[in-house]
Chains A and B, each alone.
Chain A
Amino acid sequence: MSEALARFGRLGVALICGSVAVWALVLILIPHVMLIDYAFHANPGAIDKGLAAPGLSLHSFLPLVDLNDDLALRTFLRTLLTSGVITALALVVCYPIAYYLAKVAVAKWLHILMLCLLVPFWVNEVLRAYAWRSLMTRNGLLNQLATGLGLEPTDYFNYLIPVLGANIALFVGLVYSYVLFMVFPMFNAMESLDRNQIEAARDLGASWLRVHRKIVMPHAKPGIAAGCIVTFMLSAGSFIVPVLLGGRSSFWFTQAIESQFSVLNWNGGSAYALVLELFCLVFIMVMMRVFRVTLRDIAR
């Protein structure tokens, strides 16, 4: 504290602390208080119709446990399951990329490769989703390529992946959206691994698979955990990508939340949002337990 005082002066410290306080208050605390307040009250429409009592109530959560009309529940579960699969897929795709960038790529080429990864993300998420859309439409580039090679065109929007019920386009779009969030935490973690560790394991007879399993992965664990957590949460909380790339039957839970707000049921929307947020918190804690990492490891 005294160090900060010496460096920024009394006014500077006051400004810094003040802006953090404003940020925490206005952007975190107040919205959450309001969210919880809305969620635990029934919407005025239902109260007017006599379906719910005024005052504190769990009425807004009811659609999520209504087994007769389980659309909301199924949407919720499918969103989480699909996000889990997308996270796993992103991990599989990004691990080799991160390893290559961190330990194999020549320094001279590294920044160019990084740029190649980054450039697509300078474009707005909406535009990227539209780009995928145009690539994967019935007459899009991918299908033109396929027919050019003599293959059947694929209906990326209506072909549903078994069990998950999400279409291929949504999968591709979501995995792609979070590549960076998966690559960079792993890259950071792997970069600090001494290359001699890898060589020592090789020298002692380890196959590449074992080198990764025993040396690289344990070292990169905090990065892997951070990447998975961020990817899962962004995927589960994604809105624009499912809207633009989801097919008729891949309805995302964020769309369910939005539809509550759009019919002016703020209480229902708040309840759904709260459930999603709580589940994401649980997911983070489970991941931290499974990977045996602390918040400090992840924030690194």
Chain B
Amino acid sequence: MADDVEFIGVVKRFGDFTAVRDLNLTIKEGEFFSFLGPSGCGKTTILRMVSGFIDPSEGEIRLGAQPLAGLGPNKRPTALIFQNLALFPLMTVEQNIAFGLEVRRVPAAERRRKVAQMLELIALPGYAERRIDELSGGQKQRVAIARALAVEPKVLLLDEPLSALDLKLRQHMRAELRAIQRRTGITFIYITHDQGEALAMSDRVAVMSQGSMEQVGLSADIYDFPETAFVASFVGENNMFAGRVVAASNGAAQIDTPFGRLSGLNPRRLAAGDEAFAFVRPERLRLTPPGSQSFNTIQSTVLGRVFEGVQVNVTLASPAGRPVTLTMSNDGETPAIEPDAALKVHFAADSTRILPRSGLARE
């Protein structure tokens, strides 16, 4: 409770451009919180406002109920990990990690102890004397984390620090970051455009678009229960059917689409006549009718089939242009599907979300 980060009506403008619009949010102490969004959505601006490099145009950011306004970046109990890491190339690993401690006039012996402890934490003991250019990408990554954690910040801010790593290492570092966060109990605020990263590591995720927060929630909720067309189209793969609501009742709705009438959940309480999109995940599409009471069926022809190892993606022609994708897991029972074959696919109404028609994520 004590060291929550609160955004109260935070707005940031650069000239005529509004980078962040009216942000109201509380990030709890000890939480791993991610801002997820495409580039230019305002997430880096938020991070720079928390770290103190820029000031909000309106509103206030508080840490542990204390306003941060007026404190320079060198006075804030936050630490930032830069996208390019910004390690000091003329210093050794030890000097890098000890930099913030030296600033705080920590005695030399204590500094050495702390550096050793940090190197232990990032699993690089014995690297104290190494030069930065002798380290691999993943090692640099860890040194940057150690340098930031050494000053014992209340909040660690991470600006897409994994984006420069290759896929294998990135996945490994995700787990490591998550483990370090659990061990230290420090609030992590993580910025990324990579949804896999955000979903895999975070307690909660805020999806950002054009300076506004589209949705905040648990990772699984963001994926399974998107509340806006942007979130549905940005996070994960989704099939989309545009249409008009013809009937709505009790959290459910029906929508007329080029594929015919589809039933789905109606979380945003749309009314008959509203323009809407229906979304359904490719992995929720089935070749056999599901057992549930209410399901949709569409008929189409196969455009192609892409084998991806763990799964097989089948694309189906759509009268509305964008093809429909069906994902089957490669479980040994995947039926052989050839292009141009006619195919019927089914999906449960409970897996279908009908959302107001609004801006989609750009492909």
Contacts and interface: CB of A to CB of B under 8 A. Distances in A.
B82 interface: yes
B88 A205 contact: no
B84 A199 contact: no
Interface in B246-276: none
B107 to A, nearest CB: 16
A204 B84 contact: no
A206 B74 CA distance: 6
Most chain A C-beta atoms within 10 Å of own C-beta, residue among B72, B78, B99, B104:
B99
B103 A215 contact: no
Interface size class of A (residues with CB under 8 A): 10 to 19
B103 A196 contact: no
Interface size class of B (residues with CB under 8 A): 20 to 34
Contacts of B90: 218-219
A197 B104 CA distance: 18
B100 A196 contact: no
A84 B150 CA distance: 42
B73 interface: yes
Contact of B74 (A196, A202, A214, A215): A202
Contacts of B86: 194, 196-197, 199-200
B151 interface: yes
Contact of B84 (A194, A207, A210, A218): A194
B84 A203 contact: no
Contacts of B99: 201, 204, 206, 214
A194 B89 CA distance: 11
Contacts of A194: 84, 86
A286 B104 CA distance: 35
B80 interface: yes
B73 A202 contact: yes
Given A199-B53, A210-B103, A215-B88, A205 B82 contact: no
A291 to B, nearest CB: 13
B53 to A, nearest CB: 6
A205 B87 CA distance: 15
Contacts of B151: 204-205
B219 interface: no
B147 interface: yes
Given A203-B79, A205-B103, A206-B99, A197 B74 contact: no
Contacts of B228: none
Given A196-B82, A202-B53, 7 more contacts: A194-B84, A196-B86, A200-B88, A203-B73, A203-B78, A204-B103, A207-B74
12 contacts: A199-B53, A199-B86, A201-B88, A201-B99, A203-B52, A203-B53, A205-B151, A206-B99, A210-B103, A215-B88, A218-B90, A219-B90
What 5 pairs between A and B have smallest CB-CB spacing?
A204-B100, A196-B86, A200-B86, A205-B103, A203-B80
